[in-house]
């Protein structure tokens, strides 16, 4: 309306000015024609219009919405959906990159528990991916350093304005009362991708136990959580029925305050991964003996229809003082969500996984024997048989590339060791050992041919 008012005023002024000019210039009609008069009048009107426009206040042009960050904000707001989608996809370079991007964006926005969950999931597939190991350690150290809720330090430090509300427990931290079920937690003794292991005491019978606490709520989306909980108890119950001298004994399972836990036999000793560096290798005959015992225990488990799925030196505990060897973490590798189950992907350590496991195909006990062959190669040479700079490259190596000859690293070992590894690392499951017992027999026979050495 204001604009039309200005136009009406200018037109009216033009008419009055034209009339006045016509009256004044009628005396000069001899030297000024009617078109000239109209041109002069129109020019005056246009000049006045331009002056009005220049002096009129202008409203700022509406700003277009910022494109930068829009996708990030949407991704963060849909964190649960996005994370569930990524967990359900086959791990490759693109998926790992998307997980890393999601984690860093969550971390930048101060969503530490969610970022920690993403980094932990990524680390299960590739602990060396970019700086994910350092990021995860930093976040978990910061989480442990936080004052307990209700403490004097927490009471004196109110949340800053605009800070997100405190998140629910998303890491397997020690509960404030230092208890899980009937177990008194003494101290943390280990930490892995799936949770934290505590030294605990069964207060009912005063027995020391190892307790693995797993934060299911942070590992799985709401839609997957119910299935993951059922799977956890089913797998733990199945593993608990394995009664073998070389398999850790499971006493109890439970869930409390968002933490699922497994109470198991407390083992002394060291993980065989401590003997994987090239400067700390065990004597070869001892390695063959320990791997033979492991193969025999796996054969027993496979007969009970239990596949470990994450055999590696870090899951083999050995106490040199008592010569006791135990396989740990049976059943843990089956903790996959609904999305992961659909694609057949299960947890595990990629460098030790069989081709069929990496490809999401059905795995049998022969997949464990492939992983055991990788472990044997590493414990004898200090090297992994398959390495690459990326997850995609590693998967291709395991699926297609031949492993290096063992005696290229250890020419002092007999040919029978090479033959065992060649068979264990066959790409086709059908070309591997038929059973753990068969692999154990081959290892024991080969060891008997080796010259005696230090125990």
Contact 123, 132 (CB under 8 A): yes
Spot the catalytic one: 310, 323, 422, 445: 310
Rounded distance, CA 179 to CA 185, Å?
6
Residue 368 falls in the annotated catalytic set: no
User: In 3D, which of 286, 296, 207 has the Cα closest to residue 244?
Assistant: 296
Q: Across the strands, what pairs with 208?
A: 201
Kindly tell me the sign of the dihedral angle through the C-alpha atoms of 264, 267, 270, 272: negative
- Residues 372 and 366: their CA atoms lie apart, in Å, by 10
* Contact by Cβ (8 Å): 313, 275: yes
Placement of tokens 């934290």 in the chain: 196
- Helix 436-449 to helix 415-424 angle, to the nearest 10 degrees? 170
Q: Which two tokens stand for residue 379?
A: 């414990």
Residue 32, number of CB atoms within 10 A of its CB: 14
Checking phi first, is residue 323 left (phi over 0); if not, alpha (psi -120 to 50) or beta?
A: left
| CA–CA gap between residue 137 and residue 124 (Å, rounded) | 14
Active site residues: 310
């Amino acid at each position: 309306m204001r604009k039309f008012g200005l136009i009406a005023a200018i037109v009216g002024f033009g008419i009055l000015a034209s009339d006045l000019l016509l009256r004044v210039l009628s005396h000069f009609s001899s030297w000024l024609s009617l078109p000239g008069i109209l041109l002069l009048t129109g020019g005056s009107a246009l000049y006045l219009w331009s002056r009005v426009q220049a002096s009129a206040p202008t409203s700022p042009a509406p700003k277009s919405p910022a494109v930068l960050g829009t996708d990030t904000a949407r991704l963060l707001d849909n964190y649960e959906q996005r994370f569930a989608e990524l967990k359900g996809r086959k791990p490759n370079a693109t998926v790992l990159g998307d997980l890393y991007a999601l984690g860093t964006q969550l971390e930048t926005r101060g969503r530490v528990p969610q970022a920690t969950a993403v980094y932990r999931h990524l680390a299960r597939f590739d602990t060396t991916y970019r700086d994910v190991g350092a990021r995860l350690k930093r976040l978990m150290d910061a989480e442990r350093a936080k004052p307990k809720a209700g403490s004097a330090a927490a009471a004196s430090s109110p949340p800053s304005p605009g800070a997100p509300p405190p998140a629910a427990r998303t890491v397997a931290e020690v509960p404030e009362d230092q208890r899980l079920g009937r177990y008194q937690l003494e101290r943390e003794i280990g930490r892995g991708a799936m949770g934290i292991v505590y030294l605990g005491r069964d207060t009912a019978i005063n027995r020391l136990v190892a307790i693995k606490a797993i934060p299911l709520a942070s590992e799985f989306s709401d839609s997957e959580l119910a299935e993951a909980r059922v799977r956890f108890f089913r797998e733990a119950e199945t593993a608990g029925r394995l009664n073998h001298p070389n398999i850790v004994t499971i006493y109890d399972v439970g869930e409390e305050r968002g933490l699922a836990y497994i109470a198991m036999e407390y083992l002394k000793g060291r993980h065989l991964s401590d003997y994987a560096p090239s400067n700390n290798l065990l004597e070869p005959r001892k390695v063959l003996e320990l791997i033979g015992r492991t193969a025999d225990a796996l054969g027993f488990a496979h007969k009970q229809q239990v596949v470990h799925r994450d055999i590696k030196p870090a899951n083999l505990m050995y106490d040199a003082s008592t010569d006791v060897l135990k396989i740990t973490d049976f059943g843990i590798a089956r903790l996959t969500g609904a999305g992961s189950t659909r694609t057949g992907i299960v947890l595990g350590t990629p460098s030790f996984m069989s081709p069929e496991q990496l490809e999401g195909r059905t795995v049998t006990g022969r997949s464990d024997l492939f992983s055991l062959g990788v472990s044997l190669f590493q414990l004898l040479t200090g090297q992994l048989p398959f390495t690459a700079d990326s997850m995609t490259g590693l998967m291709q190596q395991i699926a297609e590339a031949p492993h290096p000859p063992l005696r290229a690293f250890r020419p002092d070992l007999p040919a029978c060791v090479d033959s065992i590894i060649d068979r264990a690392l066959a790409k086709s499951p059908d070309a591997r050992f038929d059973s753990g017992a068969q692999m154990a027999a081959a290892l024991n026979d080969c060891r008997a041919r080796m010259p005696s050495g230090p125990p």
